[in-house]
Amino acid sequence: MTFQNTPAFAQQLDAQDSLSKYRDEFHFPQVNGKDVIYFTGNSLGLQPKRTQKFVDEVMKDWRELAVEGHFYADKPWWDYHERLAEGLGKVVGAKPQEISVMNTLTVNLHLLMVSFYRPTQKRFKILCEEKAFPSDQYMLQSQVRFHGFDPEEAIVEVKKREGEHAWHTKDFIEKINELGDELALVLIGGVNYYNGQVMDMAAITRAGKDVGAFVGWDLAHGVGNIKLNLHDWGADFAAWCSYKYMNSGPGNASGIFVHEKHLGRTDIPRFEGWWGNKKESRFLMKPEFDPIPTADAWQLSNPPILSIAPYLASLELFDEVGMDALIAKQKTIVAYLEFVLHEIDKEVDSTFEIITPEDRGCQLSVFLHGEGRELFDYLMKNGVITDWREPNVIRLAPAPFYCSYEDMYRFGQILKEGILQKAK
C-alpha cells in the first residue's frame, strides 16, 4: 500500500477498517473539548463502555444476595475467574486449563519462581535481558538473594550490541548455550517495554529447554498485542498484567500460564492456599492440600470479583474480534504512523529516530533528537496522550481497538506545530 499524509487518505483507511466501529465501544478522555489521541494503551488501556454493566452486575448481586452471591449470582463468584480461561487461552495460545487469573503481575512472578527457579550449587543462573523492567529486576535480585546466591554472579544479562537499540536472537541463544548446565531459568520480557521489540520467544524457549533450564516470559506488553503460542512453544510459565492492551482497569488482576506438563502434580514446589484446592473438597476444610489439576492450583485466595469483572468485559471484546483481526490492523496502523513520522521529519528541522525494530507490536519508540521535554508537554496540552522516557524518547502505542488512522494524521500535524512553534 502506498500511504499519503493527508486527512482524506487517513479517513479513507478508517472507512475501510472493519474494526473502526469498536472505537465507539470505549470512553475517551477529552482535552480542549475533543477526544484525545491516545497512545498509551501500552500503559493503561481505555475503559470499555460495557465495563460498567459487568461491575454493576457484581454490585447488584452483592447488594441483593450478599454471601449467597458466591453460588447463586447469575455469574457465581466461586467460579467467576474460570470464565476468562477459554478467552485468554485464545489470546495467548494456550489450553484453558493452562490459564488462571489472580493477584498482580510481580506477585505472580514471585509465586511462579517458587516452582520454576529451583537452583542448585551448579545450576543456579538466571538469564534475562539488559535493563529489564525494574520490577522484574527487583524480583529476580530478591529471589536470588533469598536462595543464598549473589545477584552479580547469578543474574546474567544479554546486552544490546554496541551502538544498537535492539537485541539479536542469536546473542540470547549463544549465551544460553554458553551457560549450559549452569542455567536454571530464562525469564525475559516477551515485548520490551522501552523499545517495543518483540523477542523470538519460540527460538529462545527452545534453546533454554535444550540445555535443561526452565523458561518463563513476562508478557506485560505482549498479551492482547501480539500473536502468542505459549503452549506450542513449550514455555514452562508466563505472567502478564491485564490493564495495558487488555483494558481491564488500573492495577487490575494478572493472568498466568503454566504448561500442562506441570499440571496435576503434587510433587512440584509451590506456595499454596485454599483456592488452589479442588473445588469438590475445598469447603470440606481438610488439612491436606489437594491441588486443582489446572493452573488454578497456583491460586491462593478467592479472586477479587470486582477486579475481574472489568477483565471479563474487555475479554468479551477480544472474543468478538479475535487476535488475527487486531494484529492485522495493528500492522497497518503502526506502519502508517511510521510513515507519518518520516513525512513530518522531512518538513521540520529535527530528526526522529525510531528505535523499535521491525519485530514489533503496537509500539513505536522514537528518539526526538534536538527536542526536549517541552515538546512532550506541548503534545499533552494539545490532546496527544503519549509517554515520555528519559532522555528524549516518546513511546507511541496506537492500540487497534480504539485508535484511528485519522488520529495518526492529526498527531503528525500537532507534532509539526509543536516543533515549529518552538523554533519561532
- What stretches in the chain show pLDDT beneath 70? 423-424
Domain with CATH 3.40.640.10 in the chain: 52-321
Domain with CATH 3.90.1150.10 in the chain: 7-35+323-423
Type and span of the H or E element at 354: strand 351-354
Degrees (nearest 5) of the Cα angle 208, 212, 217? 40
Who's near 78: CB < 8 A, 6+ residues apart? 70, 71, 279, 302
pLDDT at 121: 96
pLDDT at 146: 97
pLDDT at 369: 82
Query: From 3.90.1150.10, 3.90.226.10, 3.30.930.10, 3.40.47.10, which CATH number describes the 7-35+323-423 domain?
Result: 3.90.1150.10
| 178 HSE (CA, 13 A, CB side) | 11
pLDDT at 390: 79
Name the H helices within 29-166: 51-65, 69-72, 85-92, 105-116, 134-146, 151-154
Phi, psi torsion values for 191, nearest 5 degrees: -130, 120
Type and span of the H or E element at 258: strand 254-258
pLDDT at 424: 61
Q: Domain 52-321 carries which CATH code?
A: 3.40.640.10
pLDDT at 277: 95
Sign of CA dihedral 291, 297, 302, 305: negative
Give 26-49 pLDDT, tens digit per residue: 999 999 999 999 999 999 999 999
